[in-house]
């Protein structure tokens, strides 16, 4: 029965006074407010379930590959994926080495690290790069996508790449060494994504 109908009936019965009608109005208004609140909260929860955050701390080829496979898979599921690259992980979004304008220890660090994501070592059995080469060949045989392919696919799927500003600063990594379209952010930026994600993984 609608509110109008209830009111009309009450008028006829003369059992409900004007005062109680006003009270009922208020109650309905309050319920409406509560309902809107719940609707907002629900959409927030649904929104959270739609996000995935990944931290790539490692600069090892095998681990970075795993992160990219999960990222592209999640994006295919329709998830909004953000990948944060920090410390050694920054090596996996590097495209070249530029030692100009760096302090001597930053230069040394730069030279001791892979110059781009094509030169990442593997976490086990690297043997000065022979292991990484072997893995790449084995992947090619099985027609598994290379890291380069996966990164390109990730970009196409709209996955966001964020480099840790502090790591960049400490290691002296300059923007022209990183691939295009990489954002910069700090811990708060990461947390604001991770806390609103259904899943956060650290690789």
Partner 1 sequence: MTNFDILLDVKGLSCPMPLVKTKQELNKVQSGTVIKVIATDKGSVKDFQGWANTDKTIELISQATEKDENGKEIYVHYVKKK
Among 153, 166, 179, 199, binds partner 1 (CB under 8 A): 153
**Complex with partner 1: residue 137 or 192, whichever CB lies closer:** 137
The Cα 159–Cα 52 span in angstroms is 10
Contacts of partner 1 in 43-82 (CB under 8 A): 69, 72-73, 75-78
Is position 134 an interface residue for partner 1 (rule: CB under 8 A)? no
Is position 142 an interface residue for partner 1 (rule: CB under 8 A)? yes
Is position 141 an interface residue for partner 1 (rule: CB under 8 A)? no
Q: How far is the CB of 179 from partner 1 (least distance, A)?
A: 19
Q: Number of C-alpha atoms within 13 angstroms, CB side, residue 88? A: 16
Closest listed residue to residue 118, CA positions, set 184, 174, 64, 173: 64
Cβ atoms of 83 and 162 within 8 Å: the answer is yes
Among 2, 143, 180, 188, binds partner 1 (CB under 8 A): 143
The piece of 81-89, 123-131, 153-161, 188-196 that touches partner 1 (CB under 8 A) is: 153-161
Closest listed residue to residue 66, CA positions, set 113, 122, 13, 15: 122
Q: How far is the CB of 196 from partner 1 (least distance, A)?
A: 18
> Where do the DSSP E strands lie in the chain?
51-56, 80-85, 160-164, 182-185, 199-202
User: Which SS3 state, helix, strand or coil, does residue 4 take?
Assistant: helix
Q: How far is the CB of 79 from partner 1 (least distance, A)?
A: 9
Q: Which residues bind partner 1 (CB under 8 A)?
A: 69, 72-73, 75-78, 142-145, 153, 156-157
């Amino acid at each position: 029965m609608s509110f109008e109908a209830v009111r009309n009936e009450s008028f006829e019965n003369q059992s409900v006074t004007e005062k109680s009608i006003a009270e009922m109005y208020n109650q309905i208004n309050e319920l409406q407010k509560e309902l809107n609140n719940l609707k907002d909260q629900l959409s927030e929860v649904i929104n959270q379930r739609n996000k995935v955050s990944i931290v790539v701390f490692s600069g090892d080829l095998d681990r970075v590959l795993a992160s990219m496979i999960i990222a592209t898979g999640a994006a295919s599921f329709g998830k909004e994926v953000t990948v944060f690259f920090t410390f050694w992980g920054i090596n996996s979004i590097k495209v070249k080495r530029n030692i100009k304008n760096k302090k001597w220890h930053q230069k040394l660090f730069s030279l001791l690290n892979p110059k781009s994501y094509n030169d990442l070592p593997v976490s086990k059995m690297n043997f000065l790069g022979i292991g990484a080469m072997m893995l790449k060949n084995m992947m090619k045989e099985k027609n598994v996508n290379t890291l380069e392919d996966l990164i390109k696919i990730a970009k196409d799927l709209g996955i966001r790449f964020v480099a840790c500003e502090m790591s960049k600063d400490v290691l002296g990594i300059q923007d022209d060494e990183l691939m295009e379209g990489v954002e910069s952010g700090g811990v708060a930026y990461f947390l604001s994504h991770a806390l609103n994600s259904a899943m956060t993984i650290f690789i």
